[in-house]
């Protein structure tokens, strides 16, 4: 939602008038599954897609873009880019084919953005696998989790890898997003294992438990967390 426009992805990106539902513009786009990021510069809104496409919300015009591709896996773009301040963080990959993380900077003015697009700050090679989870930015670090449970932590200013750790005893794939609550990171795998990690420059597991088959991420309301599994809705509350 940007101003009075609702941006919806069908086969293309489509802007609808929020009051009437009238189509305002339509921008063709290749196959992708992730929701685009939305940012505002001066008084205008812009979209940045998981494929590295920069789109002006006012009229749907595509601006100078990165246009990332993965040869043979054109569909393998699944998450949402993370925005922190004036920087955008992206990650994508495919099993045994590619794994890339990026940091890009939003320029100071609209004319700069419209003429040159975003500025690449760094690009780092990461685990070659799909990334269903979006990047998580916290306290100078970027946390990335691949489909098969490789947790990677990079410096968010340089892209330098601090650690890469296969999460022990995982039996399935990771689809749920990374969630930061206080100084803990919550993640899950499809068979229902919930793993709670400490933040920081080394892998430290605080706790884990199993709730049954699940692809969802928890939602917190105060000191209560709600999590939907395949069979039930759970509410967890701190003591």
Residue 54 is assigned to a structural domain of this protein: no
Q: ∠85-87-92 over CA atoms, to 5°?
A: 135
Predicted local confidence at residue 32, as pLDDT: 81
Residue 218 is assigned to a structural domain of this protein: yes
Predicted local confidence at residue 109, as pLDDT: 98
Residue 238 is assigned to a structural domain of this protein: yes
3-state secondary structure of 129: coil
pLDDT exceeds 90 at position 238: no
**Domain limits at 220?**
171-239
Residue 3 is assigned to a structural domain of this protein: no
Predicted local confidence at residue 16, as pLDDT: 97
- Residue in the block written with tokens 């890009």: 104
Task: Find residue 101's DSSP bridge partners.
Answer: 91, 124
Average pLDDT over residues 59-74: 94
Predicted local confidence at residue 11, as pLDDT: 80
Q: pLDDT for 12-24, tens place per residue?
A: 999 999 999 999 9
Predicted local confidence at residue 171, as pLDDT: 84
Q: 108-117, 128-137, 184-193: lowest mean pLDDT where?
A: 184-193
Residue 201 is assigned to a structural domain of this protein: yes
Total number of domains in the chain: 1
With CA atoms as reference, report the closest residue to 109 among 117, 98, 97. 117
Query: Quick one: pLDDT band at residue 208, thresholds 50, 70, 90?
Result: very high
Residue 62 is assigned to a structural domain of this protein: no
CA dihedral 182, 37, 74, 142 (to 10 degrees): -30
Query: Quick one: pLDDT band at residue 6, thresholds 50, 70, 90?
Result: very high
- Do 157 and 111 meet the contact criterion of CB atoms below 8 Å apart? no
Query: Quick one: pLDDT band at residue 29, thresholds 50, 70, 90?
Result: confident
H or E segment at 113?
helix 110-116
Give the mean pLDDT of the chain: 94
Return the CATH number at 228. Answer: 2.40.128.630
Q: 8-17, 115-124, 133-142: lowest mean pLDDT where?
A: 8-17
Count how many residues are written for the chain: 239
Residue 92 is assigned to a structural domain of this protein: no
pLDDT exceeds 80 at position 106: yes
Say how far apart CA 5 and CA 11 lie, in whole Å. 18
Q: Are strands 87-94 and 44-48 parallel, antiparallel or unpaired?
A: unpaired
Residue 67 is assigned to a structural domain of this protein: no
């Amino acid at each position: 939602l940007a101003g009075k426009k609702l941006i919806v992805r069908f086969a293309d990106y489509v802007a609808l008038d929020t009051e009437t539902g009238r189509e305002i513009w339509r921008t063709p786009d290749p196959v992708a599954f992730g929701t685009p990021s939305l940012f505002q510069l001066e008084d205008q809104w812009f979209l940045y897609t998981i494929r590295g496409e920069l789109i002006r919300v006012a009229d749907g015009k595509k601006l100078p873009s990165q246009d990332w591709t993965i040869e043979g896996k054109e569909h393998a773009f699944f998450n949402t880019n993370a925005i922190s301040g004036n920087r955008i963080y992206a990650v994508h990959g495919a099993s045994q084919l590619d794994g890339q993380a990026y940091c890009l900077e939003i320029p100071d003015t609209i004319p700069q953005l419209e003429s040159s697009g975003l500025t690449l700050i760094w690009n780092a090679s990461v685990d070659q696998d799909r990334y269903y989870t979006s990047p998580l930015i916290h306290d100078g670090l970027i946390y990335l989790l691949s489909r098969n449970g490789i947790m990677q932590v990079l410096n968010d200013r340089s892209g330098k890898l601090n650690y890469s750790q296969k999460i022990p005893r995982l039996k399935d794939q990771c689809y749920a997003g990374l969630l930061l609550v206080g100084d803990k990171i919550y993640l899950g795998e499809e068979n229902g294992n919930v793993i709670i990690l400490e933040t920081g420059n080394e892998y430290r597991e605080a706790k884990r438990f199993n709730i049954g088959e699940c692809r969802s991420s928890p939602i917190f309301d105060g000191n209560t967390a709600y999590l939907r599994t395949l069979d039930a809705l759970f509410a967890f509350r701190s003591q």
